[in-house]
A and B are shown apart, each in its own frame.
Chain A
Amino acid sequence: MTERVIAAIDQGTGSTRCLLFNHSGRMLGVGQREHRQFHSRPGYAEHDAAEIWRNVLRVVPEALRAAGLTPADIVAVGIANQRETTVVWDRHTGRPLAKAITWQDTRTAGVVADLAHAAPEITAVSGLPMASYFAAPRLHWLLDEVTGLRAAAVAGDALFGTMESWLIWNLTGGVNGGRHVTDVTNASRTMLMDLTTLSWSDKLLEIFDIPRRMLPEIRGNAETYGTCVGVLPGVPVAGALGDQQAALVGQACFSPGEIKCTYGTGAFLLMNTGAILPSSTHGLIPTVGYLFGDAPVYALEGAIAVTGSLVQWLRDSLGMIPTAAQIETLASTVPDNGGCYIVPAFSGLYSPHWHPDARGVMVGLTSFIGRGHVARAVLEATGWQTREVVEAMNADSGVPVERLKVDGGMTANNLLMQFIADVLDVPVERPLGSEAVSLGAAYAAGLAVGYWPEIEVLRANWHRAAVWEPAMDPAVRIRERENWGRAVDRSYGWAPPEH
């Protein structure tokens, strides 16, 4: 008899994947589809939610085929998704009413500027800094701009959700009784949820002028939301987490103080703070880590907008490398950055600076600088941005970070991982299987249905695959840190003011 497994759907910024995991957390099969990125105007970054749903319908059977399994072998399905991406759809036709506005989209800078007077109150309730990064300003923008949307929302005909809500609604039947729910981690990133009560805030709904009827019900991360119809018929949808919180779970960061960083399009560092709702005076975001059962576990997050996407930019826009992996080849042609620094503030700077007016800069150029130095500066930007967030964590928590668990695609870059260990001056460790996001979604669903009895069992699934030890001369570290700080200063105030 084949071992039954848990399916995870990882709905990411670039692609949608389905991965199958067994009891020991081993990945048995994967299906993957990329979706289109729409950049119709500067600052716009959109997805077609209908295309993403069609991709789910393809990647699930692909993963089953790859593993030689059938839907009957699946115990439960969990979802991890790109956060803050905003979808509105018609509950009667099941069609999206606009393109999904992704977390990278900066069109709502004007909305954010208009609501600046309410910023202290918004931050006090939601925990989030006032920025165009979150969902509420996008939903506000959509309600103003999409003809008929506000009326439809008030009448209960139009629904709002982040990506997991859209997928759960479709998986559980769509127009035929689909469940309209979200989970606390995704809800905590809308800027509409009260971080203390874990429920929608009337005050925030009023500030952003959002009709309550269009919002999904907020649920825990490991519970059965409904049962799949169509694809995986009869299988419970039993877990949902924002991708970064999913990685916290997948990396088994279950104790206060444990910390992970996921390196993908952007990089996101989360520290488990246990039952204590953290506050930050250094530009970090208090957020829900996960809610298994009754008591939430909170986390402190450092969000870096541009890391892997800077490498993609070097590949796709500048054509300097044929593949993302070859950034390491190019960077290895030189011993250091030659004095060149790149601050990739493509959509402003997130943690810990929160400067929406910043834009990307490349500084320190001399005739000595070549392609190799630029490649190195690209990688170093990820290292220094990590360092800034870790400095903020240390300052907020008062307890220095002692080691960092990493995951995500960029952990394949040995030069980068060593550089991160060097600039943080702490060991950086990678787990076996760098699919922490998907694994976390699988863990949530598996805990909900009793596939795994408790989180301690999951801790035993974590195995160290590599450790990079710091080896940088302290004097060099101090000098380069100062140079990076001066480069960041030069990125500020470049974008023209909204008003």
Chain B
Amino acid sequence: MSSSDSQRRVPMRSNLPVVVGNLLMAVSAGASPQSMQLQQELGNLRIYYEFPASSIRDRRRERFSRLARQWREDTEWLSSTTVIAMHPAYQSIIGMGPEALPMILEDLRSNSGHWYWALKAISNEDPVPPSDRGAIRKMKSAWLRWAEQKGIFSNDVQRLADGSASPFSFAE
């Protein structure tokens, strides 16, 4: 067996998407159910190799962090929550939709900040009672409790919201 035969039988990982792509092209419409299943599995395999989930998550998180940092730097001196929320970076985060919710809530938990407009816009909910409008610490606790009830992130949120767990402190 020549070295070139060996390379064909065991494709290198970097060549795999091309190989899978060629196989997909070979499976034509009107094929048997087994062939259709094979096509589906090959498609999934291709996505797995070309777009690993961790890589997608990292890019989203990186984008969120960049936008949040820019928003904070530009708005920390402002009092108008309307101007704060209309900042282009903030609007871009709202545009990320539900996938931004865990990142917003994590940022709220760690850093506070006026995330309330974004949370309400994305979730279409508002767990803050009218009597607590503007009471920032209560608003923060209400949203973190809401996140815990929705299972949006880990179940230690409630203890964190109550200020009874480290490493986060709710004393602003």
Q: Do A and B come from one complex?
A: no
